[in-house]
Structure 1
Amino acid sequence: MINIEWRKDTLVLLDQTKLPTEITYVHCTDWRQVAEAIKMLRVRGAPAIGVAASYGLILAAMEAGRLEVPFSEQLTSLYEFSETLKETRPTAINLAWAVDRVISLVKEHVESMSSMSEVVELIRKEAIIIHEEDVSLNRRMAEAGATLFEGQKNIRILTHCNAGALATGGLGTALGVVRKLHENGQLERVYADETRPLLQGARLTAFELHEDGIPVTLETDNMAAYAMQHGLIDAVIVGADRITTKGDVANKIGTYGVAVLAKFHNIPFYVAAPYSTFDFTLENGTDIPIEMRDDYEVTSLHGVQTAPNGIDVLNPAFDVTPHELVTAIITEEGVLKPDYEESIDKLRQIVEAK
Structure 2
Amino acid sequence: MRTIDWVDGAVELVDQTLLPGKCVMLRIHTVEELVDAIRRLAVRGAPALGVAGALGVVLADGDLAAIAALRAARPTAVNLAWGVDRAAAHLSGGREAVLAAALRVRDDDIAACRAMGERGADLLEGDRLRIMTVCNTGGLAAVERGTALGVVQTLHERGRLAEVLALETRPLLQGARLTTWELARMGAPHRLIADSAGPYLLAKGQVDAVLIGADRIAANGDTANKIGSYALALGAERAGVPFVVVAPESTIDPATPSGEHIEIEDRGAEEIVTIGGTRLAPEGTRALNPAFDVTPHDLITAIVTDQRVIRP
User: Are the equivalent residues in 2 in contact too, given 1:79–1:103 (CA < 8 A)?
Assistant: no
> C-alpha offsets along residues 293-330 of structure 1, whole Å, 9 cap, x if unaligned?
02110000100000111111000111100001000000
> Match for residue 95 of structure 2?
120
> Match for residue 240 of structure 1?
214
TM-aligned CA deviation for residue 44 of structure 1: 0.3
> C-alpha offsets along residues 139-187 of structure 1, whole Å, 9 cap, x if unaligned?
111111112124x111000000011110001211001111111111111
Do structure 1's residue 207 and structure 2's residue 190 form an aligned pair? no
TM-aligned CA deviation for residue 105 of structure 1: 2.7
> Match for residue 64 of structure 2?
79
Do structure 1's residue 132 and structure 2's residue 107 form an aligned pair? yes
Q: Which amino acid aligns with 2:154?
A: K
- Residue 51 of structure 1: SS of its match in structure 2? helix
CA distance in 1, matches of 2:134, 2:127: 22
> Match for residue 176 of structure 1?
150
User: Are the equivalent residues in 2 in contact too, given 1:136–1:170 (CA < 8 A)?
Assistant: no
Do structure 1's residue 163 and structure 2's residue 148 form an aligned pair? no
- Structure 2 gap segments, 5+ residues each: none
> Match for residue 141 of structure 1?
116
Q: Aligned residues, how many?
A: 312
CA distance in 2, matches of 1:307, 1:324: 37
> C-alpha offsets along residues 229-251 of structure 1, whole Å, 9 cap, x if unaligned?
22210100000000011000000
- The structure in which a higher percent of residues are helix is 1
Spell out structure 1 runs of 4+ moving beyond 2 A.
Answer: none
1:1-354 equivalent positions in 2, closer than 5 A: 1-61=1-61, 75=62, 78-106=63-91, 110=92, 119-150=94-125, 152-338=126-312
> C-alpha offsets along residues 186-241 of structure 1, whole Å, 9 cap, x if unaligned?
11001000000000001011110011101111001011123212221010000000
CA distance in 2, matches of 1:306, 1:211: 31
User: Are the equivalent residues in 1 in contact too, given 2:2–2:139 (CA < 8 A)?
Assistant: no
CA distance in 1, matches of 2:35, 2:268: 17
Q: Based on CA coordinates, which of the two structures has the bigger radius of gyration?
A: 1
Q: Which amino acid aligns with 1:197?
A: P
TM-score calculated relative to the size of structure 2: 0.98
- Residue 17 of structure 1: SS of its match in structure 2? helix
> Match for residue 344 of structure 1?
none
TM-aligned CA deviation for residue 2 of structure 1: 3.2
- Residue 308 of structure 1: SS of its match in structure 2? coil
TM-aligned CA deviation for residue 11 of structure 1: 0.9
Q: Which amino acid aligns with 1:225?
A: P
- Please report the RMSD computed on the Cα atoms of aligned residues, expressed in angstroms: 1.0
- Residue 88 of structure 1: SS of its match in structure 2? coil
Identical aligned residues as a percent: 45
- Residue 158 of structure 1: SS of its match in structure 2? strand
- Structure 1 gap segments, 5+ residues each: 62-74, 114-118, 339-354
Q: Which amino acid aligns with 1:20?
A: P
CA distance in 2, matches of 1:259, 1:302: 29
CA distance in 1, matches of 2:146, 2:235: 24
TM-score calculated relative to the size of structure 1: 0.86
User: Are the equivalent residues in 1 in contact too, given 2:56–2:84 (CA < 8 A)?
Assistant: no
- Residue 118 of structure 2: SS of its match in structure 1? helix
